[in-house]
Structure 1
Amino acid sequence: MQSHFFWSQAPGTSLLQGEYDLGLVLLSLMVSSIAAGQALRLAAFARLALTSQLRGWAIASGSLALGTGIWAMHFIGMLAYKPHAAVQYDLPLTILSILPGIGASAVAITLLAKAELNSKQLVLGGIIMGAGIATMHYSGMGAMRMEHMAQYSPIWFAISLLLGVVLAMLALWVRFGLARLSDQLSLGVKALAAIIMGCAVAGMHYTAMLALRTSTPESAHASSAAHSDNQLVLALVIALVTLSIGGLIGQANGLLHYRTRWQQVDMNEARLRALVQMAADGIISIDTQGNIQEYNPAAEAIFGWSAEEVVGQNVKMLMPVALAHHHDHYIQRHEQGQINAQPPLRNKISEVLGQHKNGTLIPLRLALSQAESRGQRMYVGVLTDLSDRKKTERQLHIAATVFDHCFEGVMVLDANRRVVDINPAFARMAGISRHSARNKDFIALFHGNEDDASITDMWTEVGRNGHWQGSWRMRHNDSLQEVSITAVRDEQHRLHHYIAICYQSVRQELASLI
């Protein structure tokens, strides 16, 4: 078998010479480059696929398109070779030779679909791809039927295998190498990558063709078979059919990719709309004229107007008259700033007044940003009703005023019975500043110690009843004070603070009068 495959010069024989049709060689290079471009596009579909099924389909269809393209390039390249002898092809073996090319293409597409390619993957992929294309080439050459047996030079056979692997690695590397040179693959860079990859694949074929040897006896007369127009027509038909198949596969992948992307966009829009509708804060979007485009249920609860009543209306209807008067000027000024390339609005936070449907003014926290939607600028405001917070702030202000100005001494303790704060009245009673009192133990301000049974009983009663009242003497001046201690608990009945109120004992006042 080996003696029939490899060529060795026998006495009385000569080599059959051949030549190439330049037009068909260029056609084979064009087919190879276009197939490489389709492979890069289908690999990009696989890389960006949102599901494993879509990725698998892109790799499988890409392998078929690239494998068919490589086979077409190979067959056109064989048609381009004119050995000055009659040549026919074994049809079944010629068709079966496409299978190694599809297998090699599957490896190539799988690797091209990766975001990055390391050295080990590049070398292993190049070996498998080069071996697959070499197998396709030599099995395709084995389908040639000539008067004299085709054999191969052992040296050029080895060179073709080695060079095939090197060119396969170049074909795999070219996309990643060019991608590193440019942040974004432009159309020109993609075309260059396809041409380099196509020429590398075609280079494997024409290098392997150099190994072809056909011997004829010296006494024999080589018949000069004319290169008929039928071979040119066959080459063109093969090229057209192959590129059409690749184009249809590419279009099918493009449609699937677009459909999947559209479904993803539609799902994202539905998710975003659900978030807007369920948001606790009011969300209102307006166009550059101030007309309301979006108005969620939380905004309905804040302003009392329904979405049907406000969508399409100017947002000024939700403002007090004094603020509405300035709104148009504000939008116009900002729009003019955008024309002059000023920075866009990004989460500008302010406190504003809104107006309820019944005329009530509502304090609001407004976070305002701008966005682009299909080339149109819009403004989105996220509104938080501050009515409850303002009410709480007023109550806290009143409580703080009482704390600072009441005649009785007030002391706030944490759960560990250490001082958090004292009011000015208690500071005068205890002879201590507010700053120095903080974090002191409660009992450190009065006569007594933690081992006293009376202190233990006091805290036990506070824990049991939530309140204790009695008398203690100030450590500072030995004055007798009436002390009331109350436990403060949260909604889950967990203790977190104590409030102690002190005022001078009646007995102490009578003693001072006497």
Structure 2
Amino acid sequence: MPHDHAIQCLHDPLLVVLSYLVSVLGSFTALQLAIAIPAAQSASQRRGAIVAAGAAMGGGAIWAMHFIAMLACKMDIAVSYDLALTALSAVIGMASCMAGLAIAGTGVFGWSKLVAAGVFMGLGVTGMHYTGMAAMLMPADTHYNMALVGASGAIAIVASIVALWLAFNLRGRLQMLGSALVMGVAVCGMHYTGMQAASFVPNGAGDGVVAGGLSVANLGMGVFAVTTVLLAAMLSLSLLRQRQRAMVQI
């Protein structure tokens, strides 16, 4: 239900575009790494590939995109972020993606397993988003339109099913890039639908920063640093593995 005195969230277009590009890069990196899952020759190799691809998807394409998009939201009140809940949201995002990849990539790949893994992963991604929303510390209360909350969850599940199918069926780099562009749209669609579901209503506690939170500036620097290191390392690892396989085949 809309609130007459709800605070408007005005998005910075440059940060919105950046959030999309980060999601695309994370998706592309995850797809590159996911190649190693069906090709793994041992259980330890499979686990390593699942952890790497899940971290790139959950940490880069989803979590980092989420918080860059949160930074894009400009409001007339000061906002900071609870460090524990922010960290928890990252864990939920990466763990759910790893679990989805593990479920879909175990045994014979089939549609029933794909859908089950996608539902699990999508619910985890939705949990990540709303845990990240709960991390906001501000002199306002958050109210949700449950129809839009449900829509954001449905988008997350569909996007997860698509991501898992792509992870186990694509091989060409151009195919992966095109798929990553589509995945970026899906992930951003989930996030911004979830943001539309939220109304922020002042609670009379003033307009200062709530004590004990992580400032927007520090959060931005942290997200940028973590995203850059994580995705650069994983993309380098993926390209190195592909080069090694090509040399073995020669």
- TM-score w.r.t. length of structure 2: 0.82
Q: Which residue matches 1:216?
A: 202
Superposed counterparts of 1:74-473, under 5 Å:
74-110=66-102, 117-174=109-166, 179=170, 185-216=171-202, 231=216, 235=220, 238-252=223-237, 255=240
Q: 1:64 aligns with which of 37, 52, 55?
A: 55
The residue type paired with residue 123 of structure 2 is A
Instruction: Judge conservation of contact 1:153–1:211 (CA < 8 Å) in 2.
Output: yes
Q: List alignment gaps of at least 5 residues for structure 1.
A: 1-6, 180-184, 266-373, 375-514
* 1:38 to 1:124, Cα distance in 2 relative to 1, 3 A: same
Q: Which residue matches 2:21?
A: 30
Determine helix, strand or coil for the equivalent of 1:14.
Answer: coil
What is the root-mean-square deviation of aligned Cα atoms in Å? 3.2
Instruction: Judge conservation of contact 1:174–1:197 (CA < 8 Å) in 2.
Output: no
* 1:255 to 1:190, Cα distance in 2 relative to 1, 3 A: closer
Q: Take 1:192 and 1:49, find their aligned partners in 2: how far apart are those partners?
A: 25
In terms of fraction of residues, the more strand-rich structure is: 1
> What's the offset of the Cα at 1:204?
1.4
* 1:193 to 1:28, Cα distance in 2 relative to 1, 3 A: same
- TM-score w.r.t. length of structure 1: 0.42
Instruction: Judge conservation of contact 1:68–1:242 (CA < 8 Å) in 2.
Output: yes
Q: Which residue matches 1:15?
A: 6
Determine helix, strand or coil for the equivalent of 1:139.
Answer: helix
> What's the offset of the Cα at 1:198?
2.4
- 1:462-497 Cα deviation digits (max 9, x unpaired): xxxxxxxxxxxxxxxxxxxxxxxxxxxxxxxxxxxx
Instruction: Judge conservation of contact 1:15–1:213 (CA < 8 Å) in 2.
Output: yes
Matched, 1:73 2:40: no
* 1:250 to 1:51, Cα distance in 2 relative to 1, 3 A: farther
In terms of fraction of residues, the more helix-rich structure is: 2
Determine helix, strand or coil for the equivalent of 1:97.
Answer: helix
Q: Take 1:138 and 1:258, find their aligned partners in 2: how far apart are those partners?
A: 40
Instruction: Judge conservation of contact 2:32–2:176 (CA < 8 Å) in 1.
Output: no
The residue type paired with residue 204 of structure 1 is M
With a CA cutoff of 8 Å and minimum separation of 6, indicate the structure with the bigger relative contact order: 2
The residue type paired with residue 185 of structure 2 is C
The residue type paired with residue 190 of structure 1 is M
- 1:206-253 Cα deviation digits (max 9, x unpaired): 111111111237xx7x9699xxxx957853662353132122134345
The residue type paired with residue 124 of structure 2 is G
Identical amino acids, percent of aligned pairs: 32
- 1:142-183 Cα deviation digits (max 9, x unpaired): 010111111211222222222322232233334567x5xxxx
Q: Which residue matches 2:212?
A: none
The residue type paired with residue 6 of structure 2 is L
* 1:78 to 1:255, Cα distance in 2 relative to 1, 3 A: same
Q: How many residues align?
A: 243
Instruction: Judge conservation of contact 2:139–2:207 (CA < 8 Å) in 1.
Output: no
Q: Which residue matches 1:432?
A: none
Instruction: Judge conservation of contact 1:39–1:109 (CA < 8 Å) in 2.
Output: no
